[in-house]
Structure 1
Amino acid sequence: MRIKKTPVLRHQLLAGTMLAALAVGSSFTVANAAADFIAVNGDVRTVDPNTPRAEAFAVENGKFVAVGTSAEIRALADGKTTVLDLAGKTVTPGFIDGHTHLTSGTDYVTGVDLSYIPDKETWLKRIKEADERLPPGVWITGGGWDYTLKEGKLPTKEDIDAVVKDRPVVLRDIDFHSIWVNSKALEIAGVTAKSEVPAGGEIVLDAKTGEPTGILLEGAGDLVTNKKPAYSDKERAEALLQTVKFANSVGLTGVHDMSSIAAAYDYLKLVEDKSLSLRVWYGFFEDKAANIPAAAKDREAVDSRVAASGETKVKGPLLTVGYAKSVVDGVLSTHTAYMLENYSDRTGWKGEPFQSEADLATLIKAANENGFPTAVHAIGDAGVQMTLNAFEKGQSPGKYPNRVEHIEIINPADIERFKTLGIVASMQPNHATGTIGKYITERVGPERESHAYVWKSLLQHKVPVVFGSDWATSPLSPLTQINDAVFRESPFGLGDGPWHPEQAVTFDEALFAYTQAGANMTPWADQIGSISTGKWADFVVLDAKLPDPVDRSIRKRHVEATYVAGTEVYRAK
């Protein structure tokens, strides 16, 4: 491999000086001539267009100070320098997940995780194990169940009652838009067939008895979850710290996390405890424009306390309340996504929006005027179109872009509108592959299939695309998501090979979407996202070298180590 030498590095080597003048922002000087840390003999995928591939790099005071060949970088070390021999393994920038719900998904780490488990028998076994493990009185929470994998029909409260009767069980489905509960949970919440539910919500009733089955769709789930006892501050902090460490274990060094404004303060506690090993661009759920000014005050308070912690001086940017999050529709699996035409498998039904276009435009206007870009969940093509209409009416110029989340099906004419309006497409590859052979064709029909999960078309129209997981609705692992983006094959072996491969992206496109693209949506674009001199040294070491071109062996790869600001925050045992 031929490694490009930057003019600065070539000058240093020829002149015999040690990093006398590096890129702007580097703290490396002649007075401090040797690097703290160097990594050599690697396959370094930098995501820096000036030097896309390298063998080695040097780190000083938490930042990359040089990138080049192993020989060049070894010349910057002395006896006190820590040397990491990569032995040919692939290194990437730290992954940045463009859409997570870590604060909302801590119970998947501390409670029950049913993700990717196809059969109900195993679900119930996991639930029973949690019942035996958890202290008396504690609610069993978590989820990730997916009835479309094998069962073919929704589970019921009686299923859980057979293994747990005396404590509430509340488990979200893989899409985070339905919950499955037992009779005890319904009893405590006082939920009956006659209970009033929020717009777009539904208490699923048994066709024979007319009683709740134990499945609550969309906002109906709040009837139960709002009755759950609140965690103490200590319990929330401990659960979030475990979840952050889990994120580090899959190579994440940054996330765009989304939950309530209150949950931002849980991250703040980790910052002040000097234990946050993840950079968080935080989005708060809000549908009322009148509440936006209060969120701006929260942003000021969080920023002030983060600065006072002193952590950003040694780790770089860690946390800010960055954007507002709103929701216009549900999901395709439950027929709650808002469509332009009827569902192919539900006559006379297009879904309904969760709010009006006018209200959404008013929210966007208030958010943008207060310095918050807006992220809008829109899955159906009518939901996407309505969201673009609202941006067209309500958005105002700002430092950071507005965005649409998911975009699982789109009217082709609306693709160009993303570019025209300057809107980012935030998408989750596993949401596409997870539907193959399950329900996508049934819901939208073969004619509309080609309009679903159109990553390549968006890129071809020069629309910025950022990838993420939407964890806990799909695997948190960036390697899993990147594999899905490149190969578009069912993780469950369903379907007939690659599904609409014309919409697959290259590995380099997927890697950019999982690193620098996520940074570009934040104030930190020049500080993180690539292995470049002057940026904070966030990087991931894989357990082996990825081939050129990357093939399906990526499915066997895992993260060996994760570094944030040059400090190891995870290493596989």
Structure 2
Amino acid sequence: MNPDVIILAGTVHTMDGRPPGSPAPQAVAIRDGVIAAVGSRADAAGWPAAEVIDFGDAVLTPGLVDCHIHPVFGLELTRGCDLSGAADLAALRALLRAEAAATAPGEWVRGWGLDPNVFGSAAAHRGQIDDAVSGRPCLIRLFDGHSALASSRALDIAGVTGPRSFDQAAEVVCDGSGRPTGLLLEAAAVELVARVMPAESFAERKARLAELLTQFSRSGLTGAHVMDCNDDSLELYRALEEETDGGLPLRLRISPWCMPGTGEPDWRGLAEQIGVGGRRWEVDGVKLFVDGTVDNGTAWLFEPDAYGESVAPFWPRPEEYAAAVRYFAGRGIPTATHAIGDAGVAAVLDAFESLPPGTGATPALPGVHRIEHLETVPDELIGRFSRSGLIASMQPTHCTHYSRADHSDNWSIRLGTDRANNAWRCADLRAAGTILGLGSDWPIAPFEPLPILADAQLRRRSGRPGEQPIVPGQALTARQALEGYTSHAARAAGEWQVAGSVTVGKRADFTVFDVDPLAAAPDDLAAARVLATFVDGQAQHSSVGTGRQLSSLP
């Protein structure tokens, strides 16, 4: 064996199921982008390599993979002022005034990441922002990514004067007289205004995307499951890759959207995209939705929320969703379905349980099928989920950032105590044997994986020890959390044979920490440093010097 490079670390967590108490390896050899050997430092002395990179006492794990993220969609959602720090209406208005003052005359005022809790018990209304932006066109994206608030001038420019009908469960919210309030629910309604806003150039979007992917890599990510594919997404990925000798700094697995109002000709077009890609990006799935979000009243619940909302499916005719599932599953195409409410999760289970025998994942039809989010799930669905073979993909910081232990937040108030106590049942799903991938859903929540790993264990926001944990019985162990970003992430993509553990023959994708993610206190882990990331055995980010020659090894 003549490896290209050897990486040394104080501890290597292989995540390959080796017996507890086994000595942790400290050396990994890589050849042609694949793991060639795993062993001790003494073993490494017998591996002749051109380069040795020694991280001393640091800890190496399989590369972290975010199981749900929106890089290109997020470019649009994060234009303008970050409003996530606004705690109340006064703070929101102050931020908007400052953003309006800094925006050139004639241009739109934009904001994003707004927590609906700032409105208190009042409904969001354009009148709350019109004077703050001096009557200018303004569009604010709420944090859930499924709703927005438009100013009066923005509605005028878009020609939105009353209610509209859509193929999906979307709504232009109107008052008793039929006048739009400015609140737009779900993509089709938001797009009425978004499409008349000035667009960024391709070059501007490409530059922003390049910087974003670099930030992902520096945070510890070596891969991501991308849950969108906008009009120019593939062109952006292709252009970036062509400009970079080594390719993108992390792997991207892309799932375009399949929306209500489509049929087999549209589904065929999505199926034909499977396999399109480059060196480190590929279309390898389809994303569907059965509901919206609890916070804006568009989730799908068995019983209405506190305001009588969240009782309608996103596909007005759920049987058409089930038909789409049959179409893709029957062709071995992986699917991921957004389902937040209990009725939504049940509908996805119904669709997969009704598939003809042999339609699901088999060696001949290897598609992996998942449910995304699962924010409130009763006991009876946990068992059904574990028997279904479906994979859960969840975002711990949705819980810790946007709900509260005392149920005083908008999400909990809408659901009521019983359903709020069924919040993000990560531990119960794992106990039932479910594969659980973890992620951020950026830009809905921050993408940095270390705080997410910590929050999954704490059930509160890391770095805030005074906060009470939210349904603490659903906390994950340190190993379960790390599995959600490594071994279970690989299984969630159908890639366990080639990724997800430090095992000979698998991809040489690694993340290097300055603390042990399996031993550090969660708050310490959240504040720790990522020393390096490797993809195909090549450093994509490194905060340390280059490697030492093999002769320096003992």
TM-score per shorter chain, which class? 0.7 to 0.9
Question: Taking structure 1 as reference, are residues 320 and 171 closer, same or farther at Cα in structure 2, changes over 3 Å only?
Answer: same
Q: Which amino acid aligns with 2:159?
A: G
Q: CA deviation at 1:474?
A: 1.3
1:36-86 deviation per Cα after TM superposition (whole angstroms, max 9, x unaligned): 3333242332212237833332333333323233333344356x42423x2
Over 3 Å counting, the alpha-carbon distance change for 1:323 and 1:331 in structure 2 is same
Pairing partner for 1:266 from 225, 233, 236: 236
1:43 matched to 2:6? The reply is no
Does 1:402 pair with 2:383?
Answer: no
Partner of 1:414: 381
User: Displacement, 1:175?
Assistant: 0.8
Residue 371 of structure 1: aligned partner: 332
Q: 1:233-291 CA deviation, whole Å, 9 max, x = no partner?
A: 33332232222122112211111112236323432333333442221111111132311
Q: Distance in 2 between matches of 1:482 and 1:226?
A: 37
Which letter does structure 2 place at the counterpart of 1:334?
A: N
Give the direction of change, closer, same or farther, for the CA distance of 1:536–1:159 in structure 2 (3 Å limit).
Answer: same
Provide the rounded CA distance (Å) in 2 between the counterparts of 1:220 and 1:566. 45
Asked whether the 8 Å contact 1:400–1:521 carries over to 2, the reply is no
Aligned to 1:337: 299
Deviation at 1:412, TM superposition (A): 1.6
Whether 1:485 aligns to 2:447 is: no
Of 415, 420, 431 in structure 1, the residue corresponding to residue 398 of structure 2 is 431
Structure 1 match to 2:345: 384
Q: What is the rounded CA distance, in whole Å, between the counterparts of 2:237 and 2:102 in structure 1?
A: 27
- Identify which of 252, 256, 269 aligns with 1:280: 252
Worse-matched range after superposition: 451-460 or 68-77: 68-77
SS state of the match for residue 171, structure 1? strand
User: In 1, are the aligned partners of 2:478 and 2:517 still within 8 Å (CA)?
Assistant: no
Displacement after TM superposition at 1:401 (Å): 1.8
Tell me, in whole angstroms, the C-alpha distance in 1 between the residues paired with 2:454 and 2:466: 17
Q: Which amino acid is the alignment partner of residue 126 of structure 2?
A: K
Instruction: Report the CA distance shift for 1:164/1:566 in structure 2 as closer, same or farther (over 3 A).
Output: farther
Deviations 1:113-169 (CA, angstroms, capped at 9, x unpaired): 333543555555655665576777665545111132686655543554445458643
Look up the SS of the partner of 2:239 in the other structure: helix
2:145 is the counterpart of 1:176: yes
Task: State the distance in 2 between where 1:235 and 1:45 align.
Answer: 40
1:251 counterpart letter in structure 2: G
Which residues of 2 match residues 315-326 of structure 1 at below 5 A? Answer: 318-326=280-288
Report the counterpart of residue 548 of structure 2 in structure 1: none
Are the counterparts in 2 of residues 357 and 389 from structure 1 also a CA contact under 8 Å? no
Question: What does residue range 113-132 of structure 1 map to in structure 2 within 5 Å?
Answer: 113-120=82-89, 123=92, 127=96
Give the residue type in structure 2 aligned to 1:353: P
1:512 aligned to which of 483, 489, 501: 483
Query: 1:10 — aligned with what?
Result: none
| Matching of residue 556 in structure 1 with residue 527 in structure 2 | yes
Classify the secondary structure of the residue corresponding to 1:148: helix
Alignment CA distance shift 1:199-1:459 (3 Å): same
* Rounded Cα–Cα distance in structure 2 between residues aligned with 1:280 and 1:252: 11
Q: Structure 2 length normalisation: TM-score?
A: 0.85
Corresponding residue SS for 1:104 = helix
SS of the residue 1:172 aligns to:
strand
Corresponding residue SS for 2:445: coil
In structure 1, what is the Cα distance between the partners aligned to 2:10 and 2:532? 14
Deviations 1:459-515 (A, max 9, x none): 121111111111111121111221121111246969962222221111111111111
**Paired residue for 1:220, among 189, 199, 203?**
189
* Equivalent residue letter for 1:338: W
Residue 457 of structure 1, aligned match among 428, 431, 447? 428
Residue 289 of structure 1 aligns with which residue? 263
Partner-residue secondary structure (3-state), 2:297: coil
Q: Distance in 1 between matches of 2:304 and 2:163?
A: 28
**Letter in structure 2 aligned against 1:323:** G
Deviates more, 1:112-121 or 1:380-389: 112-121
Q: How does 1:19-58 map to 2 (within 5 A)?
A: 29=1, 33=2, 35-50=3-18, 53-58=24-29
Give the structure 1 partner of residue 115 of structure 2: 146
Distance in 2, matches of 1:333 and 1:536, equals 40
Structure 1 residue 407: deviation in Å?
Answer: 0.9
Question: Does the aligned pair in 2 maintain the 1:58–1:66 contact within 8 Å?
Answer: yes
On the 8 A contact 1:436/1:494 being kept in 2, the answer is no
More divergent stretch after superposition (198-207 vs 245-254)? 198-207
Number of the residue aligned with 2:226: 257
Could you tell me how far apart the structure 1 residues matched to 2:183 and 2:463 are?
25
Inter-partner Cα distance in structure 1 for 2:459 and 2:514: 23
Quick one: percent identity of the two aligned structures? 32
1:359 equivalent to 2:327? Answer: no
In the TM superposition, what are the counterparts of 1:161-172 in structure 2 within 5 Å? Answer: 161-162=130-131, 164-165=133-134, 168-172=137-141
Deviates more, 1:464-473 or 1:100-109: 100-109
Q: Residues 364 and 137 (structure 1 numbering): CA distance in 2 closer, same or farther, change over 3 Å?
A: farther
**Whole-Å separation in 1 of the counterparts to 2:341 and 2:536:** 39
Return closer, same or farther for 1:126/1:349 CA change in 2, 3 Å cut-off: closer
| Cα distance, 1:297–1:454 mapped onto 2, change above 3 Å | same
TM-score (norm: length of structure 1):
0.82
Partners of 1:408 and 1:101 lie apart in 2 by: 19
Once the two structures are TM-superposed, the CA of residue 200 in structure 1 deviates from its matched residue by 2.8
Deviating more after overlay: 98-107 vs 271-280: 271-280
Structure 2 unaligned residues grouped into runs of 5+: 545-554
- On the 8 A contact 1:373/1:401 being kept in 2, the answer is yes
Q: 1:124 to 1:46 in 2, by over 3 A?
A: farther
Q: 1:94 aligns with which of 36, 45, 63?
A: 63
| Residue in 1 that maps onto 2:549 | none
Is there any run of 5+ residues in structure 1 with no aligned partner, and where? 1-28, 307-311, 313-317
Contact preservation (8 Å) 1:293, 1:370: no
Secondary structure at the aligned position of 1:541 is classed as: strand
Q: Is the 8 A contact 2:110 2:140 kept in 1?
A: yes
Residue deviations 1:424-472, cap 9 Å, x none? 1111111122312423442333333343211111112111111111111
Cα RMSD of the aligned pairs, angstroms, is 3.0
What letter matches 2:4 in structure 1? Answer: D
For each residue in 1:272-317, what CA deviation from the matched residue of structure 2 results, as whole angstroms up to 9, or x when unmatched? 33442221111111132311111222235x24xx3xxxxx4xxxxx
Residue identity matched to 1:380: G
| CA positional deviation for 1:87 | 3.3
1:448–1:155: structure 2 CA closer, same or farther, 3 Å change rule?
A: closer
Residue pair 1:109, 1:242 contacting (<8 A) in 2 also: no
Contact 2:12–2:24, Cα closer than 8 Å, also in 1: yes
* Partner SS, residue 203 of structure 1: strand
Question: Deviation at 1:394?
Answer: 3.8
Kept after mapping to 1: 8 A contact 2:333/2:368: no
Whether 1:81 and 2:51 are equivalent positions in the alignment is yes
Between 420-429 and 535-544, report the one with greater CA deviation.
535-544
**Cα distance in 1 for residues equivalent to 2:38 and 2:125:** 57
What letter matches 1:220 in structure 2?
A
**Residues 166 and 528 of structure 1, relative CA distance in 2, 3 Å threshold:** farther
Contact 2:81 / 2:99 at 8 angstroms: preserved in 1?
yes
Q: What's the CA shift for 1:406? A: 0.8
User: Is residue 324–residue 373 contact of structure 1 (8 Å, CA) maintained in 2?
Assistant: yes
Secondary structure of 2:38's aligned partner = strand
